[in-house]
Structures are given as structure tokens and as C-alpha cells.
Structure 1
Amino acid sequence: MFSNSKIAIIGSGSWATALAKILLHNVESINWYFRNSDNIEQFKRFKHNPSYLRGVEFDVNRINFYTDISAAIEDVDIVVLAIPSAFLKESMADVPVDLSKKFVVSAIKGIVPGDNLIVGQYLHQYFNIPYERIGVIAGPCHAEEVALERLSYLTIACPDVKKARAFAFRLECPYIRTHVSDDIYGTEYASVLKNVVAIASGIVHGLRYGDNFQAVLISNAIQEIKRFVDKVHPITRDIKSSAYLGDLLVTAYSQFSRNRTFGTMIGKGYSVRSAQLEMHMVAEGYYAAKSIKEINEEFRVNMPIAEAVYNILYENISPAIEIRLLTEHLR
């Protein structure tokens, strides 16, 4: 399916680090792009990522480090994008390499701000990559649990299911099980929306709502996600599967969820800026809330949870007031 097993990872955060750990079970070496050359030197010296998942030790002889994206991806068949969606355009702006013949996988779980495109659409429009050569990594899988080698499930989506299966094979290891799907639109949009919902979950937690209300919020959220993805890309899909519902649950409830953490800080009274500065990590749902609001101006799907998060983050409406209003729309 792929002429060689060489894979490039673009990004150096926690999820990129987790994916590198997983992939090195099945491939001899990887190319790995870091923006910061100092981090590479520290990685080589201490054999772990100096900034993320520091407990994961790597055989650095099997990693080819790069600070040039074009050089990192030039000789590989598979490119895995694992950088925050807010920085995707900037990072890929000057890449001269023809990506149209490569298999490009989004592990981003975000939306491209400004363009309001899911990553698959962005890759297709800006780099002329056929959708059959675009993959999406979906499902409930926190990087921190990969580091601990706790059993996790991933779904690889691609219109060409054979390619999805070939890449999924490279992710299989004792603590990772995989499934395949042809639904790149639904899995990507669900991944975007679950981050928005996780912010809502954090906000209500910060406001001291209890487990009973959290359950109502999340059961309404999966219906909201279904309404949206069915409107945007109407195909047959099981919204209860792990790529959709499972990912929503873990992101809304887990202690490792940066979007929930961000929302909790907002619910406790932090400003957006102060929460962002204190976290030192990107909460994708912050950007997604605005993009989904703008996209939904065309589709007009009933999305009270996403609307509430947007109003809190971008219209400076009091979280306490906005969530109180939201409670009237849930059942």
C-alpha cells in the first residue's frame, strides 16, 4: 500500500510524542519535526521530550530530528500532522514539497481558524491532496494514558478504507487497538465539537454544577453533534461509536482534558487570556467555538451548547448567566 514505512511527524507536543511512541513499535525509524532546535538537543541528550511526556524514553538513534518541515517530509510516504490547528497555516505556508502523492494524516482534532475548514478540507484545497490520500486519527485517546501504556482505541478514517487499514496497522501495539472508517468529515467535525463541549463541561464544573447536570449536558451534546455532522455531511454513521461518543466522553470528563481544564478556569472566574497564559497549552475548543459559530450561520443547526460557549468566550457574557440560560434548552 505504501512504498516504504518511513513516517514523518510534524509537531512536538504531547500528542505528537505519544504518536511517536506508538509508531516506533512498528517502524524502524521516524522523521520528527521540532520548531525549536534547543528542544532537539535536549531530547538527544536526555532521550525524552524535554517539554511533554517526559517519562517516555526513546531510542534517539531511531529518530531523525528536523527543524525544517520540507526536509522532514521529503523522503517519506506518510506525514502525520500533530500541531495545533491555530498554527497549521503558518507552519505549512512555505512547504514546497508536493504532498499530493503522500498519505497525509491529521492528528490535530481542530479547525483552521479564519478559513473555517477542517484539516482534511484545508489539505485538499491548499495542497491538492486527494481526499483518498487524507486520513484522520479519531477516538478517545489521551496522550498521558498512551505514555502509561493504558489500553486505548483509535479510529483511522479515510475515504480509501484500504489506506486507512494500512496506516492503522502501523499503530497497533499491545496498548493500542484500531478500527477504520470512511467518514473523515464526521470524525473531524465531531473531534472539533467535542472540544467545545469539553469547555462547557469545564465551565459548569467551575460553577459547581454536579454530576447530574453534567450527564444531562453530555447527553444533549452528543445529540447536538449528531445534528451538526448529519447536516454538514449526511451519510449513515453510528454516533454512539468510540470515534464520536467515546471521544466526547473522555474529553468532557477526563482529568487530562486541556479543554475541560480551560473551561473550569473560565467557570471559576478566570479571563480567557489569563486561563490561556496559565495553561501553557492550546485548548483547541477556544478557536473551534468561533469557527463553528461562523460555519453554522450557513447550516442553521440548533446548537445551544456551542452557542453558549461562544457567548461566554467571545461575547464576554457571564458564565453563570449564560449557563443558567442554557439549562432552559436542555432536557
Structure 2
Amino acid sequence: MLTEPKIAIIGSGSWATALAKILLNNVDRLNWYFRNPDSIEQFKRFKHNPNYLRGIEFDTGRIDFFSDITEVVEQSDVLVLAIPSAFLDRSLADLKTNFNHKYIVSAIKGIVPEGNQIVGQYLNQNYKVPYERIGVIAGPCHAEEVALERLSYLTIACPDIKRARDFAFKLECPYIRAHVSDDIFGTEYASVLKNIIAIASGIVHGLRYGDNFQAVLVANAIQEIKRFVDKVHPITRDIKSSAYLGDLLVTAYSQFSRNRTFGTMIGKGYTTRTAQLEMHMVAEGYYATKSIHEINQEYKVNIPICEAVYNILYEGATPSVEIRRLTEKLR
């Protein structure tokens, strides 16, 4: 009799918590890695994540908690990475084993800044994980709506479609629909770019631009994303599907979008440092903005919205002036 693969969540934030809730609909037990042992003790005591989505109550008898990353990797077959991309390299630095025969699913929507790599590239080049054993979870889906069990759609991308389908099946439940794709590069880059666009959306909201301009911004943004992903990984893809356009829309417009919230604070006059401190959460788009700017030095794609955000966050451009310049480039 075949045994079910053991799944582990690596990370303890809101998206990790939401994914744990989803997976426990379909698996008997789940491994879960927390960097901080104190958080594990609080979780066991109060039956919820002490720091994120506290409204989700868990049956902790079905969860095996770990604070040693080597141990959780060794005792798991499928690893779901849900660590902010800026901290991934540091988090894996203590790993004393390898990823041989593991299937790794990235729930990270960002770029690993040390090498300006999407997570799939980082795992392939630094840990020799074949792309066929790397998956990507794409939205549109906010952790907060998963907590409320509001109907959401996910796309699992992997060059090995069977692996993608097997993992998608583990996510299906009354409030989650899961589909598959083989576009691991396009879905990852689109997820990175939409976070930068969401910062732009927040900036213009903070500057009191209205819905009319927001619509123009997002309409231009999906074209910007298409130009970039088609240049970086030119395959046939439908950029209007949920994994691309849908993910962009929810991140640019939603009240739950931390990148939009971060951008709104910048538009209202906060410094980047102050905005980061007040949010108490990581806005992936902040780090992605610099990485995409540097990556685009090679590809030279026309991405004026992303460049405007870069100028504001990293070059000290005044938001009102930079956005006014941007308005002349959009159609």
C-alpha cells in the first residue's frame, strides 16, 4: 500500500497559515516549520498562530511542529516554501541536508535578492533541484479571504503537469478551486511584477488619483507584465487568465494587499523605512522593485510603471512628480 507523501509548510506568516488551513482539509497530518520555538509553544497552547490570522483555529494534534529546518526537510516529501523572498537565502543557510527527491512548491511571490533570481531559478542553481520537481502557487488569492473561507482560485505551475495536478488535488476544498499550468517562469515573474504594480496603485491612491486613473494604470500594467514575461521566457500563454491578470487585479485593488497598503503610505508622504516599520509585515514588492530594475538592465523591456516605482523607492524621486511623469507615458 502506497503511503501519502508527507507535506511540510516552511514559514509561519499569514500565507503559510492560510495554506496550512487549506491542506488540512485533505491530509491527515502536516509538518510545519517555525523559526521561533516560542511561537510554536504559543501555537500549541492557544490553537492558533500567535502572530497571523489568529481567527483560524487548528487541531494541533494533526500538526507536527519543527524549529529545526534540517529536521523538517528530512522528514518531509513535499516542501511548501512560504518564507518572504528577502529572507529565503538566510533561512536555508542552516540547512544540513539536501533536497534530493523532494518536490518543492514555492508560495513565495518575490525575487531572492542575493542573485536577483526567482525562487525556481534559485533552487535550481543553488541546490540543483530539477525544474520538474519545482512548483509555483499563483493566485489570485489573499490569505485573509482564505481565513474567511471565501471562494478563491489557485494555479499550480510545474513543468511536470502530473506533479502539479497531484498537489492541486491536495488544495481542492469547498472554498478553493485549483488549476494547473506548465509556465513556471511566467507565473513567478508575473507574481513578482504585480507586487510592484500594486505599490504603484497604492502610491496613486495615496496621491488621491481616482478610479479612472487606477483603471488606466492596471490596463497598462498587464501589458507591461506581458512584455516582460514574453521577453524573459517566450512561450505561448494567455496573459488574461487568473494566474496573471487575476492575480494583478486582486493585488492592485484589494484592501488586503500589503503592497498596495505600502504604496498608499508612500503616496501619503511616509518614508520607505517608516512605512515598513508601521506595517509589521513584508511588502515583497519593495525588494522586487530593485531586483527587476537590475534584471531589466539586460532585457531592456519597456516597463515604465515599474521604473517609476523604482525611482520613488530607491532614487528619492518625489512621488507626485514621478507619477505625473508616468501619466504622460500611459495610454
TM range (shorter): over 0.9
Aligned structure 1 segments of 4 or more residues deviating by more than 6 angstroms = none
Aligned residue number for residue 289 of structure 1: 289
Aligned residue number for residue 94 of structure 2: 94
In structure 2, distance between residues paired with 1:201 and 1:76 = 39
In structure 1, distance between residues paired with 2:96 and 2:3 = 21
Q: Say whether residues 1:127 and 2:124 are aligned partners.
A: no
Aligned residue number for residue 7 of structure 1: 7
1:95 shift after superposition: 1.0
Aligned residue number for residue 66 of structure 1: 66
Could you list the per-position Cα deviations for residues 66-104 of structure 1 after superposition, in whole angstroms to 9, with x for gaps in the alignment?
Answer: 111111121211000001000000000121222131100
Q: Equivalent residues in 2 for 1:1-331 (5 A)?
A: 4-331=4-331
Could you list the per-position Cα deviations for residues 43-63 of structure 1 after superposition, in whole angstroms to 9, with x for gaps in the alignment?
Answer: 001100010000000000001
Taking structure 1 as the reference length, the TM-score comes to 0.99
Tell me the amino acid that sits aligned with residue 129 of structure 1.
V
In structure 1, distance between residues paired with 2:120 and 2:164 = 14
In structure 2, distance between residues paired with 1:6 and 1:122 = 23
Q: Check whether the contact 1:100–1:130 (CA below 8 A) recurs between aligned residues.
A: no
Please provide the CA RMSD for this pair: 0.8
Could you list the per-position Cα deviations for residues 233-255 of structure 1 after superposition, in whole angstroms to 9, with x for gaps in the alignment?
Answer: 00000000000000000000000
Q: Check whether the contact 1:4–1:76 (CA below 8 A) recurs between aligned residues.
A: no
Q: Check whether the contact 2:69–2:94 (CA below 8 A) recurs between aligned residues.
A: no
In structure 1, distance between residues paired with 2:4 and 2:231 = 39
- Structure 2, unaligned stretches of length 5 or more? none
Q: Check whether the contact 1:205–1:264 (CA below 8 A) recurs between aligned residues.
A: yes
- Structure 1, unaligned stretches of length 5 or more? none
Q: Secondary structure of the residue that 2:100 maps to in structure 1? A: coil
Q: Check whether the contact 1:4–1:77 (CA below 8 A) recurs between aligned residues.
A: no
1:3 shift after superposition: 5.5
Q: Check whether the contact 2:164–2:181 (CA below 8 A) recurs between aligned residues.
A: yes
Could you list the per-position Cα deviations for residues 93-152 of structure 1 after superposition, in whole angstroms to 9, with x for gaps in the alignment?
Answer: 121222131100000010001300000000001111000000000011000000000000
Q: % of aligned pairs identical? A: 78
In structure 2, distance between residues paired with 1:95 and 1:8 = 15
Tell me the amino acid that sits aligned with residue 168 of structure 2.
A
In structure 2, distance between residues paired with 1:100 and 1:234 = 29
Q: Check whether the contact 1:31–1:73 (CA below 8 A) recurs between aligned residues.
A: no
1:36 shift after superposition: 1.0
